[in-house]
Amino acid sequence: QVQLVESGGGLVQAGGSLRLSCAASGRTYSRHIMGWFRQAPGKEREFVAAISWSGGNTLYADSLKGRFTVSRSNAKNAVYLQMNSLKPEDTAVYYCTAGSGAFISVYSNDYDYWGQGTQVTVST
């Protein structure tokens, strides 16, 4: 079992930056792939980024490459999402997720555990 708690969301102006954190608990956290998804009002949940258990492999939504960076610290049981050059269309609830599969994935069904989400609002 892995429990996930996100933090770091908030209100930011367009062009600004935020760093989301996800604190994980559970004995096998370091062996899980980790991901970030987001869901905007009236839209389906979408993939943002993922990172392998070692941190050596990462994957991003094509539209977010170059602006978002995912990282993790197994020593701190944490995963992070650095978001730069934020746009109003980045406004959403951001969810941290963990999966026990061997490979990072863009599909939400490949993840087993989800946090409660943190709101990110980007103003114009």
* pLDDT tens for each residue of 44-102: 999 999 999 999 999 999 999 899 999 999 899 999 999 999 999 999 999 999 998 88
What is the percent of the chain with per-residue pLDDT over 90, rounded to a whole number?
Answer: 84
Most confident by average pLDDT, 23-27, 100-104, 114-118: 114-118
Compute how many other C-beta atoms are within 10 angstroms of the C-beta atom of residue 112. Answer: 14
- For residue 56, count CB atoms less than 10 angstroms from its CB and return exposed for 0-12, middle for 13-18, buried for 19 or more: exposed
Beta strands of the chain (E only): which ranges?
Answer: 3-7, 10-13, 18-25, 33-39, 46-51, 58-60, 68-73, 78-83, 92-99, 113-114, 118-123
Q: Would you state the pLDDT for residue 29? A: 67
Q: Which of 71, 75, 67, 76 is nearest to 120 (CA)?
A: 67
Name which residue leads in pLDDT, 103 or 11. Answer: 11
